[in-house]
Amino acid sequence: MDIIREFALPADREAAVRSQVEQFISSNDGKRIALVTSGGTSVPLEQNTVRFIDNFSAGTRGAASTEYLLRQGYAVVLLHRHSSLLPYNRRLRPHNAPWNFIDLLNVDSNGSITVDSSRVPGVADMVEEYRKVKAENRLLLVEFITLHDYLGLLHLCATLLNGCGRRALLYLAAAVSDFYIPNDKLPKHKIQSQDGPLNLTLGLVPKMLQPLVHDIVPNAFVVSFKLETDVDLLTKKSRQSLEHYGHQLVIGNILDKRKTEVTLVTKSAAEEIRLTDEQVEAGAEIEEIIIAKIAVKHETHIKSG
């Protein structure tokens, strides 16, 4: 498989992550185990990288879904973009908040620093939940920045998870670039603007989903995402993807409505999930519903093995 060779990790990074993931899997023996991917991939336009092409993603979907998977009892390997939102932590630094986290801190007369929890509702419970998950060693964070890192790490983690058979869930929420410039065609130094307008030709990124589903984790329950901006294309493209790759579930979403509407497309059905205005108002997250439904489907998948 050319894609595996082209995006192989450097040997030392490969060994370090392999050891981490192997220990994590072995300490969660018997549990359902999810590999969640999250955030956008960066595609360098220069070897000494100043400029890059990126995909829009703060990592909200992956971080939120990870929390709900943990509540469902899963162990989770979260393969996330560097400095994207992280589970639990995301509630302390929402990207759209009008405040800095430092605004929540007070210094007592004895010099100790407390968090003004009235401004972060539920923060105490959230910290407790996080500490419990850590103590149980049910969350492993693995970080990437570039498309190359991402594909290499995805291949490695999935390969190791194959040992878990049908207990493995792949939840591929990362926003992966469709286009890239192969290493051997990258200019070495910063592109100079006095050379005039910039012409870029980007090649297609090989699809990792194909080898994942057929060769790497043939027994896992695999969920992919389809993000479009054009609603007319969405269901058609989600269905095409499912038929083409033969995996279990495609979650279709439209950029503007991704936080309140998704469509779960399986071989037999297309199910729309939509948060009501009241649910949004009350702070509900669509990931809670998505994960509850996936947990049921995954259980069926395990039992059918």
In the complex, which residues of this chain contact its own copies (CB under 8 A)? 42, 45-46, 48-56, 58, 82-83, 86, 88-89, 92-93, 95, 100-102, 105-107, 111-115, 117, 123-124, 126-128, 130-131, 175, 177-179, 189-191, 193, 196-204, 227-230, 255-256
In angstroms, rounded to a whole number, what is the distance separating the alpha carbons of residues 60 and 85? Answer: 6
Backbone φ, ψ for residue 253 (5° rounding): -150, 150
In the complex, least distance from residue 211 CB atom to its own copies, rounded to whole angstroms: 18
Q: Least distance from C-beta 260 to its own copies, angstroms?
A: 17
CB of 47 to its own copies, least distance (A): 8
Give, for 70, the enclosing helix (H) or strand (E): helix 60-71
Q: Of 42 and 164, which CB lies nearer to its own copies in the complex structure? A: 42
- In whole angstroms, the minimum distance from the beta carbon of 131 to its own copies comes to 8
Q: Can you tell me the distance from the alpha carbon of 298 to that of 222, in angstroms, rounded to the nearest whole number?
A: 9
Core vs surface per residue 124-159: b (16+ CB within 10 A) or e: eebbebbeebeeeebbbebbbbbbbbbbbbbbbbbb
Smaller CB separation from its own copies, 217 or 285: 285
First to last CA, the chain: 27
Looking at beta carbons only, is 31 or 130 nearer to its own copies? 130
User: Between residues 82 and 274, which has the closer beta carbon with respect to its own copies?
Assistant: 82
Greatest C-alpha distance within the chain: 64
Number of C-beta neighbours around residue 170 at 10 A: 25
CA distance 60 to 1: 32
According to DSSP, the β-strands at 75-81 and 33-38 are parallel
Q: Closest separation between CB of residue 18 and its own copies, Å?
A: 19
Q: Which is nearer to its own copies, 35 or 86 (CB)?
A: 86
Q: Give the residue with the Cβ less far from its own copies, 185 or 218.
A: 185
Of 37, 22, 131, whose CA–CA distance to 81 is shortest?
A: 37
Minimum CB separation of residue 220 from its own copies in Å reads: 24
